[in-house]
Structure 1
Amino acid sequence: MSLAVTSLRELAQIQHYYGFRYVLNPSVHEQIFDKLKLSKTYPKLDKLKVLDLYPGPAQHSAIFNNRYRPAQHVLMDMRPDFVKHISGLLEQDKTDKPAMQLYRHDPYDWKSYTDLTDADKILVPPRKGPEAIHDEFLIMANLTGMIGEGLFMQWLACIGNRNWLQRFGRVKMLVWLQECTAVKLLAKPGDHLRSKCSLVTEAFTDTKLVATMSNKKTGTSNFSEDLMAEHQPVMFSPQDVWLPSGKPLSLLEINPRDHRIDLDNFDYVTKHLLILKSTPLYESLDSLGHGGKEYFRQVIKDQNLLEKCPKNLTLSDFLYCTELFDKWPFKPDIYLDFIDVFQDND
């Protein structure tokens, strides 16, 4: 039995959207799934488990479920108007094995996930090794509300640390975010928005821009031409989105990397250097500790690297600096540091 795909006109009758926005054009979702080619990652769909966070009006969820028929599809939401709507949608499914389940917990609360997998055992994904993307577990989420950027940064840290839901393996995530957040996450070396969050995104994930909203006036987006040419995202109109006003949306595909990064030293080096991200490296090295200039100038033989500003450093440059920092005989105690890990200094 296929789930009913409710139209934007009907979904607009839901009274509260709680500051979130959703694409509510079935054609756009079909284009997105055509582009993603998820069957390549999940060849055994009868074993696929899906966790759908903040599904809201659940149009995206219903289209996904009708298309892929996963073994289990759990929707986690506790916002009253959406709970009522989703419950009504699920009541229409009269089969012995419902296509979707509603788990009335808050995705913002970390306890929700341990309850889901350990206490209630509603969804228990198998554990997979790091050699490939997990082929039996997928996370989908909408983080377009005010809490979205901060919560995503926490999830990004979990990818690096391999905890939270990433303890089950390298779990692909499809996440709707405000476009302004997605632009920051995908900023390249030299971009004015290059910051800790874009560096961490690059270090721990292979992240792709899947879809983005066109500007109402120009028909373009706020991403660079080079990035648009590289990712070739699905473009959709502001008329495809509800609520009708608010910040533009983008969909990212996040594929965790099997990294070997020394997390503690990498975190310390990157956040300190990026405090002075427009200052040449040879001047900013003392931010790593007393005597930093002398040590790094002695061991770094590449003068071009020393003349770079941190915002222009590549991931390889940061990893090289991290390696040198780890070998520094007089490096400071990094565990006495209290600077915010996800600070952004523009």
Structure 2
Amino acid sequence: MFLSRSPLNRVARINGFSAQIRTVSDKPSTRTSRARRVTLEDFAREPKKKKKIGSRFETHPDSPEDKTHLPPRDKWRQIFAWVPVNDRVSLSNPETANTVAECFVPKGNTDRVIIEAFPGPGQLTRSLLALPKERIKKLIVLEQEPKYLDYLRPLAALDSRLKIIPFTALEWDTFDRVEEQGLLDDVETFPWDGGVHPNLQFISHLPITVYGEQLIAQILRLIPNRNWLFKFGRVKMNFLLSDYIWQRLTASPENALMRCKLSVMATATADFQTKMYDELQPYAEHFHPILVKKATDKLSNRRIGVPFQAVEITPLEKQVINPDKLDTWDYCIRRLYVRKATPLQQCIEDLGPGAQSLIPKLSATIDPKTIIRDITVDQWASLIQEFDAWPFAPTDLGINDAKLDNYGGRGILNRY
């Protein structure tokens, strides 16, 4: 039977199709609509977000009007809470700060010229200024954070001994500014073999980031050639630093976990002493910032809450490193420490093609089977002496491999 081609039948068929289309269109669509492109006009129409209370440049409502005095410790987290200084640990307990100041500048010291780096809002600074005035002749603080400066500048108005350099100690130009302002003109140069400098002293809270470690690495590197403050003599340095950094600085060859390039350079250039440890525990009772979460006692990280201690670092009178060979030391230690768990005889070729020929000459002082991290400072001195005398030693001792260039703080810190 054939369907009729009459106009009425065509109309019926069209109506039937229309009904089907309406039925389908009534169902919810599963297609995802294309997102409208955001334009600059949309941003212009949006209301501006209010600054978070306590941001870097905004005064917190709990801040005291008289900033010669610091706010209560329980307010520090709100008043000084902003990202740029979350890695900046500083003393917050005034009684602890008094004890540390007495430890760093004890009775018997006179006319000290002290450079204090990373003072934070100045709890330790206040304690240093509170010592008997004959002990400290001048206190030069290096601080760039605006909110911390708010609590330091009023002190300078009250005590002429305090000099503020509003720049970070992570840039060597900051120390140039200290000298350009004549703040060290009255510091005498003291003979290297005449003992520790009787007047000049460096004090610092050390940031817990890699930049803090790089800073102390570069400072130690400046000792053999007597640059920086060491041009005045053997200047004593006091640090408040994390136990993690301290273990890396002082690790012996037996400490396989913490022994590193920094340990070798530190042992070769300076003497290290812990001055206060138990008195600074637990962390939360003495330092800012305080963790909301439970503090950790693990040493293998740079997190806030790792135990801190007060230490003293003094340049050695007799330096193992010849200033003229400092680049050679850098080159050899960096190259070989890439494979620090490998025996010397298997990785000495990393110093250059043909370096295997040095093994017979080194055998008198170093067992070729000694793994790199077990080599002592005296053995490093022998290795570097033989490498320097080797006719085929590379003439370009620069290290361009980014994986190797993580020691010494190149870039923001690199100067000497």
With normalisation by structure 1, the TM-score equals 0.80
CA contact (8 A) 2:155 2:162 kept: no
CA distance in 2, matches of 1:11, 1:89: 19
Please list the CA deviations of residues 184-211 of structure 1 after superposition, one character each: whole Å capped at 9, or x if unmatched: 1221113222110111111111122333
Task: State the SS of the aligned residue for 2:367.
Answer: helix
Q: Deviations over 1:100-125 (max 9, x none)?
A: 222222222221111211x2213333
Counting matched residue pairs gives 312
| Deviation (angstroms), 1:49 | 0.4
3-state secondary structure, aligned to 1:306: coil
In the alignment, what sits opposite 2:281?
236
**What is the deviation of 1:309?**
0.5
Q: 1:44 to 1:211 in 2, by over 3 A?
A: closer
Deviates most, 137-146 or 76-85: 137-146
Q: Give the greater-gyration-radius structure (CA).
A: 2
Q: Letter of the aligned partner of 1:83 in structure 2? A: L
In structure 2, the partner of 1:222 is: none
**Aligned mates of 2:205, 2:104 — CA distance in 1:** 17
Q: Assess, with a 3 A threshold, how the Cα gap between structure 1 residues 84 and 261 changes in structure 2: closer, same or farther.
A: same
Paired amino acid for 1:177 = L
Gaps of 5+ in 1: 213-232
* 1:139 paired residue among 176, 199, 202: 202
Q: How do 1:105-184 residues align onto structure 2 when only pairs under 5 Å count?
A: 105-117=167-179, 119-124=180-185, 125-131=187-193, 132-146=195-209, 147-184=211-248
Distance 1:289 1:323, change over 3 A: same
Please give the alpha-carbon distance, in whole angstroms, between the structure 2 residues aligned to 1:26 and 1:326: 52
TM-superposition CA deviations, 1:292-313 (whole Å, max 9, x none): 22222245235x6222111111
| Corresponding position: 1:210 with 2:275 | yes
Q: Hey, what does 2:23 align to over in structure 1?
A: none
Alignment pair present for 1:261 and 2:321: yes
Q: Is 1:29 the equivalent of 2:97?
A: yes
* Greater Cα offset, 313-322 or 3-12: 3-12
CA distance in structure 2 between the partners assigned to 1:151 and 1:269 by the alignment: 21
State the partner residue of 2:7: none
Equivalence for 1:288 = 351
CA deviations 1:217-265 (Å, max 9, x no partner) are: xxxxxxxxxxxxxxxx644222222211224233332111231513122
Q: 1:140 to 1:68 in 2, by over 3 A?
A: farther
In structure 2, the residue matched to 1:219 is: none
Return the letter of the residue paired with 1:26. Answer: P
2:58 corresponds to: none
Q: Residue 60 in 1 paired to residue 119 in 2?
A: no
How far apart, CA to CA, are the structure 2 residues paired with 1:14 and 1:101?
24
Correspondence for 2:153: 87
Q: 2:379 — aligned with what? A: 317
* Counterpart residue identity of residue 268, structure 2: A
Residue 249 (structure 2) aligns with: 185
Q: Does the CA-based 8 Å contact 2:239-2:310 persist in structure 1?
A: yes
CA shift, 1:314, in A, is 1.1
Q: After superposition, where does 1:93-108 map in structure 2 within 5 Å? A: 93=158, 98-108=160-170
Cα–Cα, structure 1 residues 11 and 308, in superposed 2: closer, same or farther, change >3 Å?
A: same
SS in 2 for 1:261: coil
Q: Cα–Cα, structure 1 residues 81 and 5, in superposed 2: closer, same or farther, change >3 Å?
A: closer
Question: Is contact 1:268-1:334 (8 Å) kept?
Answer: no
2:110 maps to 1:45: yes
Letter in 2 for 1:329: P
Which residue number corresponds to residue 392 of structure 2?
Answer: 330
The answer on whether the counterparts of 2:260 and 2:337 sit within 8 Å (CA) in structure 1 is yes
Same amino acid, percent of matched pairs: 21
Structure 2 Cα separation of the partners of residues 101 and 165 of structure 1: 17
The amino acid that maps onto 1:315 is V
Indicate the larger mover: 280-289 or 130-139: 280-289
Instruction: Please give the TM-score of this superposition, normalised by the length of structure 2.
Output: 0.67
Confirm or deny: 8 A CA contact 1:7 1:25 kept in the other structure. no
Q: Look up the SS of the partner of 2:192 in the other structure.
A: coil
Structure 2: stretches of 5+ with no match in the other structure: 1-67, 292-303, 409-416
Structure 2 CA distance for aligned equivalents of residues 176 and 121 of structure 1: 27
Assess, with a 3 A threshold, how the Cα gap between structure 1 residues 343 and 190 changes in structure 2: closer, same or farther.
Answer: farther
Does structure 1 retain, via aligned residues, the 8 Å contact 2:239–2:311? yes
Q: Which runs of 4+ in 1 moved over 6 A?
A: 3-6
Question: Structure 1 residue 87: deviation in Å?
Answer: 1.8
Q: Is the 8 A contact 1:128 1:134 kept in 2?
A: yes
- Give the residue type in structure 2 aligned to 1:320: S
> Is residue 2:372 matched to residue 1:305?
no
Question: Deviations 1:83-106 (Å, cap 9, x if unpaired)?
Answer: 111123344x2xxx6242222222
SS in 2 for 1:162: coil
Q: Please report how far the alpha carbon of residue 33 of structure 1 lies from its aligned counterpart in structure 2 after TM superposition.
A: 4.8
Q: Which residue does the alignment assign to 1:77?
A: 143
- Higher relative CO (CA 8 A, sep ≥ 6), structure 1 or 2? 1
